[in-house]
Amino acid sequence: MSDAVAVVMFAAVTAYALFGGADFGAGFWDLVAGGALRGERPRAMIDRAIGPVWEANHVWLIFCFVVLWTAFPTAYASITLTLFVPLTVAALGIVARGAGFAFRKAVLRTRDQRRFGAAFASSSVLVPFCFGAVAGAIAAGRVPPGGEAGDPVESWMNPVSILGGVLAVVVSAWLAAVRLTCDAHRLDDEEMATYFRRRAVGSAVVAGVVAAAGIPVLARWADHLFDGLTSRALPLLIVSVVAGAVSLVLVGRGDDRFARATSAVTVVAVILAWGVAQWPYLLPESTTVDEAAAPSGTLAALLVSAVALLLIVVPSLILLYVLDQKDLLPEESIED
């Protein structure tokens, strides 16, 4: 039963990386769009793309935390006690990001719009970096078992965590650029489609370079993860590389029909490869999923809740995304 709960939690992590990652990546392109005049059209496209869905994406993050502290309480205690700095920064960044995105549309003075816009854009980079650093710290075995606290600085300021943070930012930027290209093409805005297509290609190249540079880092400081990635999880990595290459070719040729799907496959395959490579450890190489699990009654109740989520919340989110893609949702306004 603990294995089933772990799979459910990891599915939620994957969903957050996919949907939340594209959301954060859009904020990255907002950050580097340039001044008010130069960046006006890209920012308008970004606002239109994420406006209807940005609040819904955090459902997956909340679900992940609820499952973690309910099903694996000692591992949750170890993670939060050790990594409270990046987790706190990420939480503050999510709040600042949401406030900045909402209030920059409501204020009238240009100076205030820039301030709120800067809060939104900078937090869009800070939050995925922190979450990537947390994932790197866990994968590198920097979190001690048994609900104990590890080093609050070295646990996440190390080569693997920095690699995880940078990779999270770059992949989010690439994922967002692909989706923004598709959205611009769907809206018949060829200028913005070309604008984001170039950034999708550029960020894909950067992501590949970062991933290649991370190979010796993982081999040196996260050997358990590296061994898993080069053995049982290798087919998933191959799928990710192939899907990413196909997505890059499709975007580069201006064929956006399947670019969105192949980019999603790329990210999902990478996240699944991480999970398969780390299995059966929740905290490598000290705590397995079974060792960290709560009593069976708690796990059973949690699985029932997960089924309810699947039947109630997931269809609602699917409907939201479908309506958004069909332009059937009202645009946000100051009065809203």
Among residues 178, 185, 167, which one has the least CA distance to residue 201? 178
Tell me the two tokens of residue 303: 């699985």
**Chain-wide mean pLDDT for the chain?**
90
**Helices (DSSP H) in the chain: which residue ranges?**
2-15, 21-31, 40-50, 59-71, 73-82, 84-103, 110-139, 159-186, 190-221, 223-229, 234-252, 259-278, 289-292, 296-325
Weakest-pLDDT range from 73-77, 206-210, 249-253: 249-253
Domain residue ranges of the chain, discontinuous segments joined by +: 2-313
- The answer to whether 233 touches 207, Cβ cutoff 8 Å, is no
Q: What is the pLDDT of residue 262?
A: 93
Q: What is the pLDDT of residue 277?
A: 95
331 confidence band (pLDDT: 50, 70, 90): low
pLDDT higher than 60, residue 336: no
Q: How far is CA 314 from CA 82, 200, 214, 310, 317, in A?
A: 32, 29, 35, 5, 5
Give the DSSP letter string of 67-79: HHHHH-HHHHHHH
